[in-house]
Each structure stands twice: as structure tokens, then as C-alpha cells.
Structure 1
């Protein structure tokens, strides 16, 4: 038996931070969406669990026994072990939910093998706030710390997207800490497209303060024919949405030529 799963890159079409909570987390309202590209996990049955990391960003996974793939395996009861090869194509600490997406892919693999326990959502949430959404990897609204999910029909499915990261890792904690604490209001209502266009990312300003290269990425993407440009999550990755494949292709060529050192990934929203 061999299984292959894509760990789909997560983006936040909008991310509204409402308040700091007493437990140290923040109350959020966000629209999660997923790109049809990402890390790739292949697995086969084994006597015991093991994880091997390859790809462009293997160095970002420091401890083979304490990354989210290993922790996801440990969180799920199974009769057999899994030997997983993780092809790490997404940059680490990049606002794309890379580790969470990897964990979500593990949950889907185990589901195919033997099914998930009834409390899988709670098990996923203990691994990270983005993990429950990444298990499903479909557009949804997240509230609370991001673990309270509401399904929403997306009119942006199939939309062309370009992801750009300046190859500067940016940890989530310092970005949230730098948030100014001002509640700028709830997610707007409407279709996913309307929410995305009228929404915002409240972490963009504090992230730019910590990583000025984000501002350069945003300016470059706004110089293309995108209908929406925004930072994802806590950064430093930014995304642009395009109405046609031609405009997305042209944007990728334009940015790759101007900034060959940046990381780019092109795909479509699921």
C-alpha cells in the first residue's frame, strides 16, 4: 500500500484580529482558502512510524521527532506504523500553514487507511489552530483561535493565484505580539469574493514592521493585473489573485525576472 497526499498551501483571504484573550491567544475571524499546490507526502505501511524530509526546504524541519508530521502520527491511534517521505516545497514560518498542512495531509492518509477517531477535530486543534482547517483543505470561515470552522460555498474556486515569499522566515508569535490591539471590525458579509475584497489582514502592518521585505513583495504584486493582493496569515508570504491564466503567468514571469531571489508558487484555489 502506498499513499500520496498534497499538503495544500493555506492562505487567509481575510484575517481580522478582534481581541487578545486571557489565555495568550487572539480572537480571530478569517476566511481560509487552499491552493492546489504544496508539500507532497508519500507513505507506506511500516513496523513503526518514521519521517524523512526532502525537497527545497528540508532544513526548516529541525527535529525529525518533533515536527507536525511526527506529532500528527502520534496523535492518531493506528494498528500499523507509517513511513512517510515529506517533500517540503513550502517555506517554513511563511504564513502558508505549511506544518499544519502537512499534519492535515497525515490525517487524510490515516482516514484512508483506517478511519479517524470521532474526536479527530479536537486532536487536530491540539496540534495547532490551523490544523483542523487544513485537514479538510476547503474554503471555510474560522473563528475563535481559528479552530471554530463554518463551511462556506466559494465563488473563488478555480481562481488563479500566485504566492510570493521573500525567503525571510517570520515567526507567528512576534507578529501577534506587535499587533496594536485595535479591533477594526468583523468580517464583512457576502460571497467569498466579496468578503475577500472588502476584508483585510490585521497582521500585515505589524508583520511589515518586523520584515520590511513584505512591503516590497506587496508593491511588486500590486504592479501586476491582480484583482486582490494581500499578505497571508502572519507573513511573510503574500498572494495575488487573477481572473485569467494569462495574467497570472505574466505576473509570475514579471516578478521572477525582477526578483530572482524570491520564492514563487503558482496554482489555483481549491
Structure 2
């Protein structure tokens, strides 16, 4: 039996940094949303766990055996072993939660095959702050370090056309958080998913642009295509734009591809 799963690209519709904690992490308020495309995984029974990577960004994974996919497998009971194939279609260190999304996909495959242990959330959180949200891959509000989750009550952005654009420059998360000015600009708004997105902000955008100035060019290019929202995701460098129609999305994707052929992009819909 072969199991297949999509590791849905994660975006932060809003990300409010509130304070730096004594443990070195940051107190956050964020709203996670997921695109209906991303990395692709498949798993077949094997004598022992094995991971094969392919795809455009497979070469960015330094050690496949120390990859978060392998760590997710080792933390969950899943039989004798799985041979996992990972098609890496999302850029690395890009604000899309690519590795976390891959781990989330493993959790969902294990859930289908064997069920998840009751403490799956704690196991996921040990792998990374975004992993629990990526296991769910549904719109949710994250607090604390992002691991405390509450699903959004009104998802009025389901099916919304979305364009992801990355300038192919990796931006490690640590330096961006370190460069944040530690100014608390207030809590995340409440309401429907669309209201939170429109009224929210990303407090990591300014420090990320300071580290990787081309992010500002990506945001300008996206805003010039007429979305109702364009914002950086996570700690960058990927930015997203939301549109009211498929036609607007298609026109925007074509314009970006023509004007900036070197940039990576992915078009889809919000889940």
C-alpha cells in the first residue's frame, strides 16, 4: 500500500510579535492559513525507515537522514518501517513552513495508517513551533510560540486565489527575530479570517527587509498586480497576494513571470 500526502504551504496571514521571552523564544500571535499545494510525499512499507528527496529544492536539504521528515517518523509509531519519497517543491528558509509542512504530512499519513497517539500535539511541537498547525493544515490562530492553537471560527477565505512569490534568497528565521525592535504594536485583531488578515500585520517584515532588501521589491511587484492583500509570510522571504478572482490571479502570475523570470512562484487557493 502506498500512502500519498501533500505538505500544504503555510502562510501567516498576520504575525504579531509581542515580546521576547526569557527562554529566548518570542511570544507571538499569528493566524496560519494553508495553500492547496506544496511539497509532495509518498510512503510505502519497508524493512527500515528511508528517505529519498527529489525536486527543485531537494539539494537544499543538507542531510536527508537528519531531515525533519526522518525526525517525524522516529517520533511516531508506524510499523516496521517506511520508505518515504519527498518531492521538495517549496523553497527552503522561505517563510512557508516547508519542513514543518513535510512533518505535518507525515503525521497525517501515520494517522490514516495507524492513528496518532494522544500526545501527538506535544510530539509535533518538539519538532518545531509550526508543526502542530501544519498537522492540522486548516486556518488557526497560534499563540505562545505558535504552538497553542485555536481553529478560526469563520473561514471566509476558503477557496481564495493566492499567489506565492519568492526571490530565491533564503532568509534564516533566527537573525530576523533577533533584528526585531521588540516594540509591541498591539494584539492581533479578532473576527473572520478575512478581517484578521486585512486588519493585521507582520511585525517581522521590517527586520526581514533590512536583512534581505529584495523582499521589498517582491511586495511592490505583488501590490502592483491589484490584490486585496499582499504581505510577507513568516520571517520571509516569500510574500503572498490574495485576489478576488481566478482571472486576477492568472494575470498577476503571468506578469510576475514575465517581469521577474528568476523568481519562484506558486499559484493556488486557500484551504
The TM tier, using the shorter chain, reads: over 0.9
Written as runs of structure 1 = structure 2, the 5 A alignment for 1:155-234 is 155-234=156-235
**2:40 is matched with which residue?**
40
**Structure 2 counterpart of 1:237:** 238
Identify the residue that residue 25 of structure 2 maps to in structure 1. 25
| Unmatched tracts of structure 1, length 5 or more | none
Query: 1:67 and 2:67 equivalent?
Result: yes
Residue-by-residue CA offset, 1:98-123 (whole Å, 9 max, x unaligned): 00000000000111111111100000
Structure 2 residue matching 1:129: 3-state secondary structure: coil
Measure, in 2, the Cα distance between the counterparts of 1:58 and 1:4: 18
* Alpha-carbon separation, structure 2, partners of 1:3 and 1:136: 18
- Structure 2 unaligned runs (5+)? none
Partner residue in 2 for 1:88: 88
Aligned residue in 2 for 1:12: 12
CA distance in 2, matches of 1:128, 1:60: 19
> May I ask how many residue pairs the two structures share in their alignment?
270
Runs ≥4 in structure 1, deviation > 3 angstroms?
none
Cα deviation, residue 231, structure 1: 0.0
| TM-superposed deviation, 1:80 | 2.2
Partner of 1:101: 101
What's the offset of the Cα at 1:264?
0.4
Structure 2: how far apart are the matches of 1:115 and 1:50? Answer: 21
In structure 2, distance between residues paired with 1:27 and 1:141: 13
Deviation per CA, 1:16-38, whole angstroms, max 9, x where unpaired? 00000000100000000000000
Query: Within 5 Å, which residues of 2 pair with 1:81-160?
Result: 81-152=81-152, 153-160=154-161
> By how many angstroms is 1:78 displaced?
2.7
Structure 2 CA distance for aligned equivalents of residues 217 and 263 of structure 1: 11
Distance in 1 of aligned mates of 2:77 and 2:113: 11
Within 2, Cα distance between the matches of 1:235 and 1:64?
23
Distance 2:262 2:107 in 1: 34
For the pair 1:261 / 2:266, whether they are aligned, the reply is no
Q: Could you tell me how far apart the structure 1 residues matched to 2:209 and 2:157 are?
A: 27
- How many Å separate the matches in 2 of 1:79 and 1:192? 39
- Root-mean-square deviation over aligned CA pairs: 0.5
